[in-house]
């Protein structure tokens, strides 16, 4: 390449990178602005007032924040393992060489695209409502079902079921991983008399462990950031009786309903620390159960 052509090539490269640089500004500037606002008293109307660690001290004494953490932890630690188990089970069924695999794969993946949408949450609210489809089905057996979405004992459970229903994304990744496991391993195990369960435990799980780890991290991060489901199901209140008060929903209330933007920024950074901590713990634990074919 001639010296005259090199500047033109460089300009073309920078031109293609320009949209990324512009997008980065819309991420980096709010990122550091929120860090500053976390140490201020800011209500969106007046200039921020520096208050140091006061927002973080207030968080330690906020009972509703503790409730939002409780709801988010229960939702995450129940729904994530169950959704991964269902996703792996369905992926193994689809890996049996059934006809029409692309169709089944698309049908099972579709809920992952729609699960967090307003329309699907509204549909879910109708299905589990007092006069919804679930109670109509129970009525055929003479059972009077509760108002699943209006009862504090069941409201969060309906959202956990919604999360499990959206297992399509990890299922597709599991299926791709299963199709990469050489069949000769299973043939050799069968010759040695290994049962299906032993083959699953000794061949499938170890070779699939990097995929399981990837799906686990992705699902954990996504579940900790749940917002739409709780907002639509409760009408933005986190009800009934704060049973669906997710952390992000409470953050939204503080920032955009009560205009405590400084406090909301502090909450956002606390969420970042929580997600980073659980991600780091999983990476530390991965060396004991994740196996790579080096």
pLDDT per residue as tens digits for the range 57-98: 999 999 999 999 999 999 999 999 999 999 999 999 988 877
Q: Looking at residue 115, what is its pLDDT?
A: 65
**In terms of C-beta density within 10 A (0-12 exposed, 13-18 middle, 19 or more buried), how is residue 267 classed?**
buried
| Three-state SS at 86 | helix
Q: Does 280 score more than 90 pLDDT? A: yes
According to the model, what pLDDT value does residue 72 have? Answer: 97
**CATH superfamily placement of domain 59-287:** MetI-like (1.10.3720.10)
pLDDT in tens, 5-39: 566 777 888 888 888 888 888 888 999 999 999 99
How high is the pLDDT of residue 106? Answer: 81
- Residues present in the chain in total: 294
pLDDT at position 118 is: 82
Per-residue pLDDT, averaged over 36-45, amounts to 94
Q: pLDDT, tens digit, for every residue of 148-177?
A: 998 999 999 999 999 999 898 999 999 999
Domain ranges in the chain are 59-287
pLDDT number for residue 2: 57
Residue 93, CB-side half-sphere exposure with 13 Å CA sphere: 11
Distances (CA, A) of 97 to 101, 205, 232: 8, 19, 40
Element (H, E) at 167: none
The pTM of the full predicted model, rounded to 2 decimals, is 0.90
Which sign does the torsion angle of CA 209, 213, 218, 222 carry? Answer: positive
Residue from 157, 158, 154, 83 nearest 127 by CA: 158
Q: How confident is the model at residue 203 (pLDDT cuts 50, 70, 90)?
A: very high
Confidence of residue 42 (pLDDT cuts 50, 70, 90): very high
């Amino acid at each position: 390449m001639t010296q005259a052509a090199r500047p033109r090539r460089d300009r073309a490269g920078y031109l293609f990178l320009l949209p990324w640089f512009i997008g980065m500004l819309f991420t980096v500037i709010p990122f550091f602005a929120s860090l500053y606002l976390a140490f201020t008293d800011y209500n969106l109307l007046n200039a921020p007032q520096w208050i140091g660690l006061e927002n973080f001290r207030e968080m330690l004494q906020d009972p509703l924040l503790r409730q939002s953490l409780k709801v988010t932890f229960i939702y995450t630690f129940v729904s994530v393992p169950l959704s991964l188990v269902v996703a792996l089970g369905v992926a193994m069924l689809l890996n049996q060489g059934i006809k029409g695999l692309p169709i089944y794969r698309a049908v099972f993946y579709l809920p992952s695209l729609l699960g967090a949408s307003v329309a699907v949450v509204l549909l879910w609210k109708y299905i589990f409502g007092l006069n919804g489809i679930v109670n109509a089905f129970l009525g055929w057996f003479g059972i009077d079902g509760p108002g699943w979405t209006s009862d504090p004992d069941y409201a969060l459970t309906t959202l956990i079921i919604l999360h499990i229903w959206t297992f399509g994304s990890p299922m597709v990744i599991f299926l791709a991983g299963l199709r990469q496991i050489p069949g000769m391993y299973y043939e050799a195990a069968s010759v040695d008399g290994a049962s299906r369960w032993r083959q699953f435990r000794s061949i499938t799980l170890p070779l699939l462990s990097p995929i399981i780890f990837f799906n686990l991290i992705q699902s954990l991060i996504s579940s900790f950031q749940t917002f739409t489901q709780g907002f639509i199901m409760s009408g933005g209140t986190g009800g009934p009786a704060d049973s669906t008060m997710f952390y992000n929903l409470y953050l939204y209330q503080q920032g955009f309903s009560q205009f405590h933007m400084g406090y909301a920024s502090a909450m956002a950074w606390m969420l970042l620390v929580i997600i980073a901590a659980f991600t780091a713990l999983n990476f530390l634990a991965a060396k004991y159960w994740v196996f790579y074919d080096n």
